[in-house]
Amino acid sequence: MSATIKAYYNDDDILMNAVKKIRSEKYHIEEVYTPFPVHGLDKAMGLKDTRLAITAFMYGCLGLTVAVVMMNFIMIQDWPQDIGGKPSFSYLENMPAFVPIMFELTVFFAAHLMVITFYLRSRMWPFKEAENPDVRTTDDSFVIELHGTDDNEALTNLLLDTGATEVHVPKK
């Protein structure tokens, strides 16, 4: 397996141009670490769009279904009650009173399951060690990680030409 090469940058605009140049030279960027979100970096790296919005919709539908089934069972079938003179013969007659509950459970399920999905998808388990390659990336530095090639010298020269302040190539 090839070694991981790290290129350090001190400006987000230089970083964006470097990512575009590195990708145009057909090198694969493994990861980019930044101290703040950089707009457009995901597109420049060629990352696919996230499908988390689809899961949020599905989780909301699940919450709505749970709310409808729960209210129908509790308020109509299991323990019908005459509250404020409202009839308890069918769910549809009572549905306007249940709208706030349906909304709240839809939001509850979508929000909580999305947080769990995000953590699982990001592999952020409880008590997991941070994967930060350099503490400076939480302050003022940007790091691009690439896998080394047969010609690490050409890759190093390319990284320096793109504006890297430092390039770390592990010794063999």
Domains of the chain: which residue ranges? 4-35+140-168, 52-121
Nearest CA among 169, 172, 149 for reference residue 160: 169
Q: Which two tokens stand for residue 89?
A: 């013969």
Chain segment 24-83, per-residue pLDDT in tens: 988 889 999 999 999 999 999 988 888 888 999 999 999 999 999 999 898 888 887 777
Going by the DSSP 8-state scheme, the letter that residue 87 receives in this structure is -
Q: Which two tokens stand for residue 153?
A: 């010298």
pLDDT score recorded for residue 156: 87
Residue 1's pLDDT band (cuts 50, 70, 90): very low
Cβ atoms of 6 and 165 closer than 8 Å: no
Chain segment 114-164, per-residue pLDDT in tens: 999 988 888 888 888 877 788 888 888 999 999 877 778 888 889 999 999
Chain segment 75-119, per-residue pLDDT in tens: 888 887 777 776 677 777 778 888 999 999 999 999 999 999 988
Can you identify the CATH homologous superfamily of domain 4-35+140-168?
ACT domain (3.30.70.260)
Q: What is the pTM of this model?
A: 0.68
Q: Which two tokens stand for residue 125?
A: 């388990």
Cβ atoms of 137 and 35 closer than 8 Å: yes
CA 154, 158, 163, 169 dihedral sign is negative
Rounded-to-integer distance, Cα 136 and Cα 158, Å: 22
pLDDT score recorded for residue 90: 76
pLDDT score recorded for residue 10: 92
Cβ atoms of 12 and 142 closer than 8 Å: yes
Place of tokens 């306007």: 96
Cβ atoms of 149 and 143 closer than 8 Å: no
Residue 2: pLDDT above 80?
no
